Amino acid sequence: MYLNDFNIRVINNRPQYRVEYTKDGYSGHCDYDVIEKVGKNKPIQQTIKILTHSNMGEIIDYWNKQTPLSEDSFNEVSRTIREHSMNVLTQYLHQ
């Protein structure tokens, strides 16, 4: 997967987090709001991560240069970016 080729870092501006991707002049990011919820009747804590903004155009351009993409690839690329950035953020939050 080409996303692993990038330098990736998480910027913590609690409760907002940004997952940044950079490599060879290409850059992109996904922004998340992270909300901690605690149940009213039971003391169960839940972490909710909401993707609020994404600017991954340059990353998609890089990906397209490595493996030409078609219009049919859009859903797969979009899903892969969302899943990858969410996994990076989840790992960061559990450090």
Range of the domain at 79: 2-93
pTM of the predicted model, to two decimals? 0.90
> pLDDT tens digits, the chain, 95 residues: what are they?
689 999 999 999 999 999 999 999 999 999 999 999 888 887 888 899 999 999 999 999 999 999 899 988 989 999 999 999 999 999 999 98
Tokens 């992109």 locate to: 28
Count the helices and strands in the chain (H runs, E runs): 2, 4
36 Cβ contact partners less than 8 Å away, ≥ 6 residues apart: 45, 46, 47, 48
| Single-letter residue type at 32 | Y
Q: How many domains does the chain have?
A: 1
CA angle 50, 52, 56 (to 5 degrees): 115
| Length of the chain (residues) | 95
